[in-house]
């Protein structure tokens, strides 16, 4: 991608709220020349896809068509490269149980611009910016504020690298053991 880009990683399904993200991007593109790269397999088993609806929304707009890309599935090496060059991870979900892509992004020093719904604020903490998931105008305001402020970008990158230190496999194992011990007692 030759221009700066925002990255989405996840399933291409209605609860990921990509329709609202596309509406927000339509507003962002009035002020910023930025790409939206969406990584995810629309045919992954077990997921309800709305890929055709999203593609139709993109195809109906010359601006979105020129600035939005679906990659489909990508191998891990490619995904790491995409994270490492992204301006930010977009996480507009209507609800998430954990949000692994947020942790993956933070491990690369990538800020997370996320929905205020679900667990994302707890996961991302001060390494991101938040918006109501169904408010495309507010989502666009947060994206524009981020893209317009290099100091904010640097601050959030530094915070991401610090925040991700909380998410280790060792800590996950310790928490799982604590939970199992409590349940057994």
Residues 27-50, mean pLDDT to the nearest whole number: 85
This prediction has a pTM of 0.89
What pLDDT digit, counting tens, does each position of 51-107 carry?
Answer: 888 999 999 999 999 999 999 999 999 999 999 999 999 999 998 877 889 999 999
Higher pLDDT pick, 118 / 78: 78
Three-state SS annotation for the chain? CCCCEEEEECCCCHHHCHHHHHHHHHHHCCCCCCEEEEECCCCCCCCCCCHHHHHHHHHCCHHHHHHEEEEECCCHHHHHHHHHHCCEEEECCCCCCCCHHHHHHHHCCCCEEEECCCCHHHHHHHHEEEECCCCHHHHHHHHHHHHHCHHHHHHHHHHHHHHHHHCCHHHHHHHHHHHHHHHHC
Core vs surface per residue 82-97: b (16+ CB within 10 A) or e: bbeebbbbbbbbeebe
Residue 129 has pLDDT above 70, yes or no: yes
């Amino acid at each position: 991608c030759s221009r700066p880009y925002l990255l989405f990683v996840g399933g291409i399904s209605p609860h990921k709220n990509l329709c609202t993200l596309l509406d927000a991007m339509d507003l962002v593109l009035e002020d910023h020349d930025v790409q939206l790269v969406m990584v995810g397999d629309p045919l992954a088993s077990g997921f309800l896809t709305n890929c055709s609806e999203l593609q139709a929304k993109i195809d109906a707009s010359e601006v979105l068509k020129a600035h939005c890309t679906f990659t489909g599935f990508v191998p891990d090496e490619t995904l790491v490269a995409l994270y490492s060059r992204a301006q930010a991870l977009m996480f507009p979900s209507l609800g998430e149980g954990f949000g692994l892509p947020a942790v993956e992004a933070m491990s690369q020093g990538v800020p997370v611009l996320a929905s205020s719904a679900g667990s994302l604020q707890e996961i991302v903490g001060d390494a991101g910016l938040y918006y109501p998931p169904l408010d495309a105008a507010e989502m666009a305001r947060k994206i524009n504020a981020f893209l317009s402020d290099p100091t904010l970008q640097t601050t959030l990158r530094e915070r991401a690298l610090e925040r991700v230190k909380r998410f280790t496999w060792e800590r996950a194992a310790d928490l799982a053991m604590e939970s199992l011990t409590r349940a057994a007692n």
